[in-house]
Amino acid sequence: MRLFIASPVLIYNYTQLRQDFSAVLKGRWVEENALHLTWIFLGDQPAAEPWRKKLRHLTALEAPIPLQGLGSFGRPPRVFHLKAHDPLLYKKAREMKNNGLEPYRFTPHVTLCRIEKIVNWREYKKLLEKYREEILGEILPEIALYESTLCKGGSIYRKIESIV
């Protein structure tokens, strides 16, 4: 089974973000109900139980954490994402590490779209600037273990266990 540890997110106006950026980039958008911040991708695992036990040693985030600004990873850009800057995220990642969960190269973000091509760089940069200071959503306090099933239309996530 393919597993990961993540926190669900609430995006305040995902429909508007998609509409604005769909005019300047082409790609595969994440469905709103599947958006999350990945803490650790565990990959293929024989069982969930060892990870459930480790998860139980953690505490949830103290409060929702704001998501502010947009960006992309890769050259050329391949992942369009929401940014998360709060130091509490790194504190939580250290707590995970201390409990046997190793966040590999943790860069807090929420993937919005897998980019195929940016079709209008000038407008893309303008939109990034437009949203730069805006709080666009929040990471919810819950931390959960998920199973990911790959399907033709995208991944399907099933929550196995969570802490709130």
CATH number, domain of 31, equals 3.90.1140.10
Q: Check: pTM over 0.85? Answer yes or no.
A: yes
Could you report the per-residue pLDDT of 73-116, keeping only the tens digit for each? 999 999 999 999 999 999 999 999 999 998 878 899 999 999 99
- Report how many domains make up the chain: 1
**118 confidence band (pLDDT: 50, 70, 90):** very high
Mean pLDDT for the chain?
95
Question: In the predicted model, is pLDDT for residue 157 greater than 90?
Answer: yes
pLDDT at 153: 75
Report whether 4 contacts 37 (CB < 8 A). Answer: no
Q: For residue 132, what are the domain limits?
A: 2-163
Main-chain dihedrals φ then ψ at residue 97, nearest 5 degrees: -60, -40
Could you report the per-residue pLDDT of 41-79, keeping only the tens digit for each? 999 999 999 999 999 999 999 999 999 999 999 999 999
Q: Which residues of 12-24 are buried (b: 16+ CB within 10 A; e: fewer)?
A: eebeebeeebeeb
Q: Which residues contact 164 (CB under 8 A, 6 or more apart)?
A: 60, 141, 142
Could you report the per-residue pLDDT of 119-136, keeping only the tens digit for each? 999 999 999 999 999 999
